[in-house]
Amino acid sequence: MPEDTVFDRILSGEIPCDSVFSDELCLAFRDIQPVAPVHILIIPRKRLESLNSSTEADESLLGHLLITATKIAKQEGLKDWRAVINTGSEAGQTVFHLHVHLIGGRALKWPPG
């Protein structure tokens, strides 16, 4: 298995986080380098490096991550928000453990990058 990422260390409890949601499939916490007033990371407990490493067997987990993003957005009082999944280093992925960025709380521009 690849070397542990910072997200593996958060999941193990080795590194603390500002958790906003947790269940048997995922953990959500506030990003320590937010790009908006609300910037939450949602990570699966199952180690997947990126969407590229997911398979059909992960379909329900991937759906769960997006439904969880919707629940958290409501919990945070967001009407408009963005979900981002960077896949690969050229797309901006810096931690190679699949994660969803939930971003909101201000007007977001397009295109983002």
pLDDT digits (tens, 9 = 90+) for 90-109: 999 999 999 999 999 999 99
pLDDT of residue 24: 98
Torsion of CA 6, 46, 48, 18, to 10 degrees: -30
SS3 of the chain: helix, strand, coil, percent, to 5: 30, 20, 50
Average pLDDT of 69-78?
98
Catalytic residue among 39, 64, 97, 99: 99
pLDDT of residue 3: 83
- In the chain the domains, ranked by start, together with CATH numbers, are 6-104 (3.30.428.10)
Burial of 2 (0-12, 13-18, 19+ CB in 10 A): exposed
Judge whether 99 counts as a catalytic residue.
yes
Determine the Cα–Cα distance for residues 2 and 81; give it in Å rounded to an integer.
33
pLDDT digits (tens, 9 = 90+) for 11-48: 999 999 999 999 999 999 999 999 999 999 999 999 99
Determine the Cα–Cα distance for residues 12 and 99; give it in Å rounded to an integer.
16
